[in-house]
Amino acid sequence: MAKQWGGRFVGKTDELVERLGESVSFDQRLAPWDIRASIAHARMLGKQGIIPKADSKKIIAGLNGIAKDIENGRFKFEAKLEDVHSNIETALIRRIGDAGKRLHTARSRNDQIATDVRLWARDQIDAIDELLSNLQHTFLTVAEKHVTTILPGCTHLQHAQPVLLAHHLLAYFEMFHRDRIRFIQLRSRVNIMPLGSAAMAGTPHNIDRFAVADELKFDAISANSMDAVSDRDYLIEFCSCAAITMMHLSRFCEELIIWSTPEFGFAEIADAYTTGSSIMPQKKNPDVAELVRGKAGRVYGDLLALLTLMKGLPLTYNRDMQEDKEPAFDASDTMQLCLPVVARMLSTIRFNEHAMREAAREGFLEATDVADYLVDKGVPFREAHGIAGKMVLHCIKHGKRLPELSLEEFNSFCPRFERDIFGFLKPETMVRRRDQVGGTAPRQVKAAIKRAREILKSLS
C-alpha cells in the first residue's frame, strides 16, 4: 500500500519501523476533529478557486460519509497507513477518486495534526469544565447541610482550632474554582488555528485562513508558521492543569481515607464506592478514594512525559512529537473518570457529627482563644501565648481539658481571667468569633455559600 510520502523511496519500509512509526492505534480517536478540519479546508479550497468547486463538494460529501461510517463502527483503520490522517484520506480517494487527491493541497500533516489536537483539546476543556462545575455544586450542596457541624481543624495533622465542616468543604470549592479558571484561561490559548502553516513555512496558495478559522470557531490564527507546527505548549499546559486538579482530588480523597478510619470515624463512604477484602470479612475499604489518589501520580507522569519530550527539540516539527498524544489523552481520560466518581462518592457520604464534635473537645483547641481572651483583657499577645502554653502543660500533667479548669486555676496563671472565660471556650463561641470574611463563623460561611452559588452561575 503506497505511502503518502513514498514517491522518493524505492526500498520497502522495515516491518519493525512500520510498528514503531504507526500512530493510528491511538490517534484514530482524533478522526471526528480531523474530518471537521478537512471539511473546512476543502470548502475554503473550492471557494478560493484553488481546486474546482465540484471537487470540493465531492470531498465534503465523501468526508461526511466516512464520518458516519466511523461513528457506526464500519470504518477499518489500517496500521500500514500510519496515522488517522492517511487512513481518512486514503479512504476518501477510494470513495470519490481523483477529487480526493486534491484535499491535501496547501496543507501538511504538520499543521493538520496541530489543528486536530487543538480542536480536541478545546472540546476536552469544555467537558472538564462541566465536570468541575458539577463537582463544585456537590461540595456546595453537602456544605449547606453542615453549617453547624463542628470538627477540629488541623495543621500538621494535629488538632489546631475548631471549624465548621461547611467551611472545610468550601476550601475545596475554592481549589476547584481555581482549576476551572486555569482551564478557561488555557482555552483561549488553545483556540488559535495553525492550519495554513503547512509544513513549516506557510503556503504559496491563495488560501483564506480566516474563513477556515471562522468555520471551525477558532478565535484567531497563528502568527508564525514555524511556531504553529512545533508548539505543544498548550498540551503541556493542559496536563499541568490536569495535574493540579488531580492533586486537589487526591488531597480530598486522602482526607476521606483518614476520616473513614475507626480512629477518626468522621465519615462513612457508601457501599457503592468501597470494596471488601478477599480474606477479611469485616473490611470496608475506601478503594475509590485510594484509586483516585493513585491516579494523580499517573497524570503527573503524563505532564513529565510531555515536558521531557519537548525539552530538546529544534524547530520545527520532529517525529518525536508523535508521542505527544497519548499523555494528553490519558490525562484527559483520567480526569473525566475521576471527577464524576468523586462527585458521586461525596454526595453519598455520611458524616458523623457526634464524632467530629467529640474530637473537637480533644487536643486543646481552646488554647488560642485563651490567649485571645487575655489580649482582650489588655495582655500583650506574646505574653498571653506563653500563659496559655503553660496552662496546656498543666492540663497535660493533670489529665484535664482547659474548660475543666476551675476559675481559681485560671487565676493562678493570670488574674485577668473572669467567670466569662467558660462561655468563651465553648466550640460554638470559638467558631462564631471568627467572623471575618473568609473565616469559619456561621454568618461568614453562609455568605461564602451564597457567593459560591453566584460564582457558579456566572461561569455557567
Q: In the chain, what is the greatest distance between 2 CA atoms, to the nearest angstrom?
A: 100
Sign of the torsion formed by the C-alpha atoms of 273, 268, 164 and 363: negative
Q: Are 229 and 167 in contact (CB under 8 A)?
A: no
Instruction: Specify whether 225 is catalytic.
Output: no
Residue tagged active-site, from 38, 133, 248, 277: 277
Instruction: Specify whether 133 is catalytic.
Output: no
Cα–Cα distance, 451 to 446 (Å, whole number): 9
- Name the 3-class secondary structure at 420: coil
The three cell numbers locating residue 338: 475521576
Cα–Cα distance, 67 to 36 (Å, whole number): 9
Q: Which residues pair with 151 in a beta bridge?
A: 163
Residue tagged active-site, from 56, 104, 146, 156: 156
- DSSP conformation class of 275: B
- Name the 3-class secondary structure at 416: coil
b/e 241-279 (16+ beta carbons within 10 angstroms → b):
bbbbbbbbbbebbebbbbbbeeebebbbbeeebbeeeee
Which among 58, 52, 108 has a CA at the least distance from the CA of 83? 108
Sign of the torsion formed by the C-alpha atoms of 334, 337, 340 and 342: negative
Hey, how many other C-beta atoms are within 10 angstroms of the C-beta on 2?
Answer: 9
For the chain, give the number of residues. Answer: 460
384 phi and psi angles, rounded to 5 deg? -60, -40
Q: Which residues are catalytic?
A: 156, 277
